Chains A and B, each alone.
Chain A
Amino acid sequence: MTYFVELLINGVSIGLIYALIAIGFTVIFKATQVLNFAQGSTLLLGAYVVVQLQERLGFYGAVLAGVAVAAAVAGAIEVFLVRRASTHEHISLAILTLGIDIALATELSRRIGSEVLSFADPWGNRTTAIGPFVVPQARLAAMVVCAVIAVAFFALLKYTSWGIAVRATAEDPEAAALMGINRHRVAATSWALAGGLAAVAGVFMGTAPSPGLTSTANVTALNAFPAAVIGGLDSPGGAVVGGLIVGVVQSLSGGYNDQVSFLGSPLSEVSGYVVMIMILLWRPSGLYGTREMTRV
């Protein structure tokens, strides 16, 4: 039972990290109708900057710098590339971000090489016992920080004029523009916000119990895709639910892999995708996604 609860806590903490990345996918999709494949390499970029600067600026200063760089690059991708595309078709724009991802990921993996990016975070490898359950402190920090950021994000979306602008643009871009909403500003800020969230997620992906980030962390970040799709691509709330589902399923399937060894190992790498397929068979637009109904 203790083992089960520990796996559950671990799953929730990973799930909240995925949720941050997935919120990024959904806010970009809401504001600009683009599925951003470059999110994974943006995450890696943020983490890389943090590791490069943490000796000079200290951990917290470096995280701020990493978040700022990731946000700036993501915003710049929207302003200079996505906005200027000659098409507004979903698939072409998704492929555009795929191209950006290839170039960025190649450059980062060339710089990182076979190194492991490890963070000089204040939690280190220490663990805390909550009753009978032993949890790494870095995971607790991840849970708290990710939960706070997610709540802050929803407050932003619900109460600020920026949030209203994003929601209005998602609802009806033309009507929103006629109401005086600057669509370009909404688009750029959404991308920048998603980039910043990815950088934070990247840092927590690399802290204990993980030994650090390798140059393939951008592929691990793809786990946030099932999270975003399970929740529904245009639903930030769904992204949190999806992230938690993927995180818990991964953690449990990894923890009990030995009991179901006939399914092969490592199960944790596929279980999230299997759950996604099952949920999509049941609800083709995810749990909370807007269902596009067309009847002929």
Chain B
Amino acid sequence: MSENLTASRQWATRLLVSASVVVVLIAPLYLDQFWLQLGFFCFAAAVGTLGLNLLTGIAGLLSLAHGFFLAVGAYAYVFLAGGSEEGISGALVGAGLPSWLAAILAVGVAGFAGLLFSPISGRLRGIYLGVASLALIFIGQHVLHNYESVTGGFYGRDVPTLSLFGFTFAETDPVLMVLGVPFGREERLWYLGAAILLVAYVFARNIVAGRTGRAMQLVRDNEVAASSMGIDVRHYKASAFVLSSIYAGAAGVLIVLALGRAVPDYFGLALSISYLIMVVIGGLGSLPGSVAGAFFVVALPEVLNHYATSLPFLSQPGGDGVSAVQFSEYLYGLLVVAVILFIPRGLAGVFASVRGRAAPRSAPASDGAQLEPQSSERPHLPA
């Protein structure tokens, strides 16, 4: 009986995965630009959230600097792929590399920035690291505003189009028609985002299931125990930071590709906090939760805004009442509080307990081991 249950669960998962693959593949044939662009932002944010969850959920290190590492990836791409040109606030320099190479190098640069932070990230404990990482945001903003020849200063800098072996992620070149639907910039980026999210997810899953992930979780739960098992605590803390900044760099590159212009204001403290919210709402330590959390947090204000005219509790843009963005902020704040108070494993925990409840109640007690842990168990929270 327990085999039946496991088998049916596996089938359900497989069905869900194949259904989402089909939906992702055919969606650009039906959706308009608004939804495609929103979807791409969700994919990009999910990549970033996976990275922060590896750091905060798996390795138990609080970081308010995630937005900084996104900025490093984004601006590294803009600099490496951009040519020397005339910007709004003066001459800009760029390395003029092929854009696909620039994108890969930019992710590496973000990882290197994470490595440079290792004297801090390896040494500091718990909450001190959280506050120390706050410094990176402010230092990053300072550099972005002042190093104008590279970043373009306050007004930012145009983002070069990504092209991969002659295929550009833009409206034309080559002109592409699929089943009578013109595939422009949004359609192309949609597939790029989905593919990178898939790679990022599988990579993260392998890390968590493997030696590195287990070591990180032990460092999170008990540093002393980890040390006595021969785990180099400093090394794993520092590598968690490098890993998460690589993810942040990839997310940063994707996001500026969609934005079309890199501006410093986007990469402020609010961005770091919103990634933390995605991780917490999705569920600390849960990779599917990260994706769900990112989709929820990114999509909510946009969707509410899209339908603001038909939602009576929202004010129109410029009106006096609560705007869609403000409404979403209230909701995030309250959700974060609710998650910490009542549902410590976030959206992931809610799904798990729904699935656990759907299982037949007459199942023998030995089946308990096969079920997803209930949300009432000790939550997997960082120490």
Residues of A within 8 A of B (CB): 35, 81, 84-87, 89-96, 98-104, 106-107, 110, 219, 222, 225-226, 228-229, 233, 263-265, 267, 269-270, 273-274, 276-277, 280-281, 284-286, 292, 294, 296
Contact = CB atoms under 8 A, between A and B. Distances in A.
A96 B341 contact: yes
Nearest to B123: A284
B142 A264 contact: yes
A276 B135 contact: yes
Contacts of B379: 86-87
Contacts, number: 146
Given A229-B128, A264-B143, A102 B336 contact: yes
Contact of B342 (A86, A98, A276, A285): A86
Given A35-B127, A91-B56, A226 B344 contact: no
A258 to B, nearest CB: 14
A219 B141 CA distance: 14
Contacts of B352: none
A86 B381 CA distance: 11
A222 B330 contact: no
B113 interface: no
Contact of B126 (A91, A263, A276, A281): A91
Contact of A102 (B142, B284, B329): B329
B359 interface: no
Contact of A225 (B134, B145, B280): B134
Contacts of A102: 273, 277, 329, 332-333, 336
B268 to A, nearest CB: 9
Contact of A99 (B120, B337, B382): B337
A226 B141 CA distance: 17
B146 interface: yes
30 contacts: A35-B130, A35-B131, A81-B337, A85-B341, A86-B342, A87-B379, A91-B62, A95-B62, A96-B341, A103-B329, A103-B334, A103-B337, A106-B326, A106-B329, A222-B269, A225-B134, A226-B135, A228-B131, A233-B127, A233-B128, A264-B143, A270-B139, A270-B141, A274-B135, A277-B132, A280-B124, A284-B123, A284-B128, A285-B125, A294-B224
Given A91-B126, A100-B333, A264 B132 contact: no
Contacts of A273: 134-135, 138-139
Contacts of B134: 222, 225, 273
Interface string B353-383: 0000000000000000000000000010111
B58 interface: no
B251 to A, nearest CB: 20
Contacts of A99: 277, 280, 332-337, 340
A98 B275 CA distance: 12
Interface of B: 56, 60, 62, 119-120, 123-128, 130-132, 134-135, 138-139, 141-143, 145-147, 223-224, 227-228, 269, 273, 276-277, 280, 284, 322, 326, 329-330, 332-337, 340-342, 344, 379, 381-383
Question: Which of B125, B127, B269, B277 gathers most chain A CB within 10 Å?
Answer: B127
Instruction: Identify whether the interface residues of B are mostly helix, strand, loop, or mixed.
Output: helix
Nearest to A89: B381
Contacts of B141: 269-270
B213 to A, nearest CB: 18
Contact of A95 (B132, B139, B330, B340): B340
A226 B123 CA distance: 17
Contacts of A81: 337, 341
Given A91-B383, A95-B336, 18 more contacts: A35-B127, A35-B131, A86-B341, A86-B379, A89-B383, A91-B56, A91-B127, A94-B127, A96-B337, A98-B336, A102-B273, A102-B333, A106-B326, A264-B142, A273-B138, A274-B139, A280-B120, A296-B228
A296 B333 contact: no
Contacts of B146: 263-265
A106 B139 CA distance: 25
A103 B322 CA distance: 13
A87 B340 contact: yes
A267 B381 CA distance: 38
Contacts of A106: 326, 329-330, 333
